[in-house]
Structure 1
């Protein structure tokens, strides 16, 4: 993983007489994920743990952290069946997809990124554990999160436009409230904002205290502005 080569050429390094071949193809992102089967059947929880472990260590591989973050955000958008958002994330990060799949991609510097199948799709032999689901449901119903005091701080926000800024926030604020605050400060319609933290898409109902964010961490905001209306 993390092999680096020119974006516009592919090489056959095993052959000493290899030739550079022009391969500047970039396909649109496909919705369908790879079909695969786990050697050892796993539950949904085990799959999530395996994915989190990969994404937590991915920036340590060759390549750029911001591209790994963009790939994770695109994967999560696909999980939410939002192909348009996933494509916008890929395009915004200048990521090239030779096969229209996130399994293999390149950034504008030519760095190669490979995502294992388990990050993109469930295995065909995924196990279900009703008893585990029941325990999670009971735990959720009986243990509500304790509210945190409303102490203001300056939240660090990074827009997909490349701009970094700070918003007044408290840990009790919801993403919906923060979207409105960003709209007031930067005139970006709340309906055109998608908020992410650690590669996870945050819903409007999510509160900062639910994300376990620390005050110096950064929230990412994908801005999907509608195209300008042409007149005359």
Structure 2
């Protein structure tokens, strides 16, 4: 969007600390709010991580961050905004930030301030995958999450990350199920109306008519479920 400062174009003016936080000179002096940039931060991990290791690293940060500084409700809002932004739902991410009165002087969640002026830093590994992520193609994270054929498809367990609670849930589906059918199963399990659910995998929105087997979701991989607060239909064709 107009006025956004790309992370790559300003590498000479930015530094990356040992935890992966990206900061800029004098950024803490202005406190001027900036709309959230519609860009994915590209970075490379010093030690290549698998997706499972990255998820564990993220969970550890979000679980422990409130113990260091700042308010828990702000950390919770930042976590929800990070999930939405990674799924390219920048409108929802911005709404979460605005609702919690969080300012982002650089346009990125790496450095934020609450209304009291407290500084919050989110490491880059919580915002995007590294360019050298190690793919796990043997499902060793969840070796037993596929079973015998059911109705012409395989029964499998999907791991869903809900933006409404920032928690992971498991949902049993058939590979022949459509996303729309899976949403209805999630409604029965978690009480979330299908019209409030938007499913993302690999940064792409999964349409309601798409079958699970067509999504290429492997056992152990996480599907992001963005839960809208209103009742507006989010069904995709």
Q: How does the TM-score come out when normalised to structure 2?
A: 0.53
Equivalent of residue 48 in structure 2, options 41, 44, 55: 41
Is there any run of 5+ residues in structure 1 with no aligned partner, and where? 2-9, 13-20, 146-156, 159-171, 181-189, 196-220, 227-232
- Hey, which bits of structure 1, 4+ residues long, moved more than 4 A? none
Equivalent of residue 78 in structure 2, options 71, 77, 91: 71
Question: Is the Cα contact below 8 Å between 2:50 and 2:135 reproduced in 1?
Answer: yes
The match for 2:219 is none
Partner-residue secondary structure (3-state), 2:145: helix
C-alpha separation in 2, matches of 1:121 and 1:29: 15
Equivalent of residue 94 in structure 1, options 93, 97, 101: 101
Query: Are 2:127 and 1:126 aligned?
Result: no
Residue 222 of structure 1, CA deviation: 6.0
Partner-residue secondary structure (3-state), 1:139: coil
The match for 1:174 is 187
Question: Is the Cα contact below 8 Å between 1:89 and 1:222 reproduced in 2?
Answer: no
What do you get for the CA RMSD once the two structures are aligned?
Answer: 3.7
Change in 2 beyond 3 A, CA 1:222/1:70:
farther
Change in 2 beyond 3 A, CA 1:107/1:46:
same
**1:7-29 C-alpha deviation (Å, 9 max, x unpaired):** xxx799xxxxxxxx6x2411111
C-alpha separation in 2, matches of 1:25 and 1:11: 9
Query: Are 2:223 and 1:223 aligned?
Result: no
C-alpha separation in 2, matches of 1:40 and 1:92: 36
Query: Are 2:130 and 1:117 aligned?
Result: no
Largest Rg, 1 or 2: 1
Query: Are 2:146 and 1:141 aligned?
Result: yes
Question: Is the Cα contact below 8 Å between 1:194 and 1:223 reproduced in 2?
Answer: no
Change in 2 beyond 3 A, CA 1:125/1:179:
closer
C-alpha separation in 2, matches of 1:30 and 1:194: 24
Count the aligned residue pairs: 150
Is there any run of 5+ residues in structure 2 with no aligned partner, and where? 1-16, 18-25, 148-154, 158-163, 166-184, 199-226, 233-237
Change in 2 beyond 3 A, CA 1:173/1:115:
closer
Change in 2 beyond 3 A, CA 1:223/1:131:
closer
C-alpha separation in 2, matches of 1:91 and 1:68: 14
**1:54-109 C-alpha deviation (Å, 9 max, x unpaired):** 01101111100000000000011112221111111011100001011000000001
C-alpha separation in 1, matches of 2:97 and 2:81: 7
Query: Are 2:114 and 1:107 aligned?
Result: yes
